[in-house]
Structure 1
Amino acid sequence: MNKGAVLLCFVLGLFFVPLSHAFDRGEAGFAVSVDGLQIPFRVMGLTAMPGDTLTLSVPPKSRVKASSGRINQDGPKRWHWRAPDKGMSTLKITDTAGRVVELNIFVLRRAASVRNGVIDGYRMGNYPQEAYRGFEAYEPPEGFIEVTPALFDVYLSPHFQLKQFLCKQAAVDGKQFMVFRPELMLKLETILQKLNERGIAADTLFIMSGYRTPHYNHSIGNRKYSRHIYGGAADFFVDVSPRDGRMDDLNGDGRIDRKDAALVYDMIEGLSREHGWLTGGLGEYGSSSSHGPFVHVDVRGHRARWGKK
């Protein structure tokens, strides 16, 4: 092949990039607000207590349907949804252009169902009854999602599914219990978008640790006020090429080490200075005998940093 032909192939390769490499941000093209939480995505997970009423703000003339619970309109932009006693309900909001937002709302089992640290044979352990330094984010959860395999693949946001955040603790009679914070999903989506903007073509993040029961958290020697027990934290790494359950060589130095976690940490630190960033914790970890390098993020509501040297 002559030099001209080689050059032509190279130029064509630049323009005809496979479409699979394009990152879909999962944005709906319009925003929905639920009790003041702004949701820009086509799909989002939320939680509610039995009988709770959630208030939705939607574009005028939108259609709102619920798979269960009661829905009623209160003005051109405002709707109210009353939660049923149990289960998961999907709210479908369709604007005048036909664009859709789906809200997967999990109705929680009341925390009072936990007796002596156990619910339906599943050992939860006990939450600290006194909030850390009086912070509201450290109040014990009001309830928990009853998780069966039928819920594993439910999306909590465009690129994250419920099963990614389950506690590593074994199920009992096919059931586990957990809770999550939708603000964490918003933060993880922002991180994933920024990674793709940087040329790291990830379709999700490998969640090494999401929710932990207080029992499991204690069993691994973690602090009693860990953000993981409140469903508001994730330990994660980027696992794209190869997809092998380990952090990728993000900085291209031929090694997988703490410097790769530091690259992600620095990127997130930059995001934290942008308007609208959800304040919380950020930590960087190196490898040990049980895991490779990873990054921690949470939505505790106040700034905390550790690990980065």
Structure 2
Amino acid sequence: MASAVVGERREHPTGEELELPDDLPVRKRHTARMVWFAMGAVAAVGAFQFLQAADDATDRPIGTYIARSMVPIAEPSISAFGASGEVKLAFALPAQEFSYPLDVHGDPTALQYAWIRVGDSALATAAQPLTGDKVSAPPQAGFYRLTLLKSGQRRSVEGLTLAVLVPFTEKEKGMLRGYRIGTYLGERMRGRTPPPEGFLEISPADVDLPITKHLKVGDFLNHDQQGKWPSYSAINPKLLDKLELVIQEIARWHGDKAVADIDIDVHSGFRAPEHNRRVQRAASDSQHQYGDAADVAIDANGDGKITAIDSRMVGLAVEIVELKHPDLVGGLGIYTSGHSSTNYVHIDVRGRRARWRGGG
């Protein structure tokens, strides 16, 4: 039997052409199939969208939880590095609350902090809530790095080391933990410069620790040849900042191209009073005793030699730095001679202007 197609013209036995009507059962069957197919497709799309929405609804809370439970990346704020941007050492007394400005890149909710000794991996202090820029220093002297903690994870904050000082009040009869410091004029006479608040406690492992871009802890050791460890030293962070600014000024004269290549040789950093009184021609109340001064040599003209010209150039850089940063004003002594070892510059941050010249 021949099949019929809707709308097909067929020949009648009488010879007439007849058009099949649209309401034949075959059309109804085709139409029904199309309707059911369309409904099935719509249902499938709807089911897919529902499942996808359900998956999204499931994924979002999990992703949010993971993000919130991670320790965010953090770094010291630019203000923590001084005007030069190159000071890498902060100072505090044991258990002292101090400002440690942080830039936190992430969710700070439930964030905690602790301290780790430099060269170690174990926590040196218990975790404490981090609620602002104020943190508490460890109770023991030494060098530390800040670590952030959250949900059992931790992340170290790089770039800034904390030096917890041994308080000056621990000094007894000129001795600090078995190390001879001597006596400051301010301990015997009123109106003199007060002694430093505290001292860095330095072990042999700390000597090469960077404290600025160009300076390390060993540059400020007391050269008294006591042969005792730990050694002790006082350093004023303003001095570190000033020295780096002087180097930056010299680099500017060279088009900033050689700032990383400029070397600074510290002839004398900290001098304890006991040592200072044995140094020839040293002032009785020398700024070196307070960590406020350094005698340095810099090859300012880049010719590979240290000459009187270099000392004068460094002196000019100091003058410019003090004009730009009045809070760093201090003493400037230019020492020149025909011998490279006696061409150097004394730089300090005593808080008032002082100028002098010396020879070898």
TM-score (norm 2): 0.62
Give per-residue Cα distances to partners, 1:29-53, cap 9 Å, x unaligned: 95144xxx84664761122211211
Alpha-carbon spacing, 1:112–1:99, altered in 2? closer, same or farther (3 Å): closer
What displacement does 1:249 show?
Answer: 8.0
Structure 2 residue identity aligned to 1:273 = L
* Contact 1:280-1:297 within 8 A present in 2 as well: yes
State how far apart, in whole Å, the 2-side matches of 1:111 and 1:73 are. Answer: 29
Give per-residue Cα distances to partners, 1:206-256, cap 9 Å, x unaligned: 000000010111001412211100011110011xxxxxxxxx48386x985
List alignment gaps of at least 5 residues for structure 1: 1-27, 239-247
**Larger RCO (alpha carbons 8 Å, 6+ apart):** 1
Does residue 113 of the first structure (1) align with residue 161 of the second (2)?
Answer: no
Give per-residue Cα distances to partners, 1:58-79, cap 9 Å, x unaligned: 335477663244653224xx24
Give per-residue Cα distances to partners, 1:106-137, cap 9 Å, x unaligned: 222232332321234422111112699947xx
Which residue of 50, 53, 75 maps to 2:94? 50
- Residue aligned with 2:199, SS: strand
What displacement does 1:191 show?
Answer: 1.1
More moved, 141-150 vs 211-220: 141-150
Please say which structure displays the higher CA radius of gyration: 2
Structure 2 residue identity aligned to 1:250 = N
Deviant stretches of 4+, over 6 Å? none
Does residue 301 of the first structure (1) align with residue 351 of the second (2)?
Answer: yes
State how far apart, in whole Å, the 2-side matches of 1:57 and 1:120 are. Answer: 32
| Structure whose residues are more often helix by fraction | 2
| Match of residue 243 from structure 1 | none
Which residue of 77, 84, 87 maps to 2:139? 84
Which residue of 165, 171, 179 maps to 2:234? 179
Alpha-carbon spacing, 1:186–1:251, altered in 2? closer, same or farther (3 Å): closer
Alpha-carbon spacing, 1:264–1:99, altered in 2? closer, same or farther (3 Å): farther
Alpha-carbon spacing, 1:61–1:257, altered in 2? closer, same or farther (3 Å): closer
State how far apart, in whole Å, the 1-side matches of 2:84 and 2:248 are. Answer: 13
| Match of residue 203 from structure 2 | 148
* Contact 1:184-1:233 within 8 A present in 2 as well: yes
Structure 2 residue identity aligned to 1:227 = Q
State how far apart, in whole Å, the 2-side matches of 1:113 and 1:132 are. Answer: 20
Which residue of 78, 89, 95 maps to 1:31? 78
More moved, 269-278 vs 172-181: 269-278
| Match of residue 181 from structure 2 | 124
Which residue of 254, 263, 286 maps to 1:226? 286
Alpha-carbon spacing, 1:275–1:88, altered in 2? closer, same or farther (3 Å): closer
| Match of residue 276 from structure 2 | 217
State how far apart, in whole Å, the 2-side matches of 1:164 and 1:249 are. Answer: 19
Alpha-carbon spacing, 1:219–1:294, altered in 2? closer, same or farther (3 Å): same
* Contact 1:187-1:277 within 8 A present in 2 as well: no
- Alignment coverage as a number of residue pairs: 261
Please tell me the root mean square deviation across aligned C-alpha atoms, in Å: 3.5
Give per-residue Cα distances to partners, 1:81-118, cap 9 Å, x unaligned: 3332232211268xxxx996532122222323323212
- Residue aligned with 1:225, SS: coil
What displacement does 1:281 show?
Answer: 1.2
What displacement does 1:265 show?
Answer: 0.6
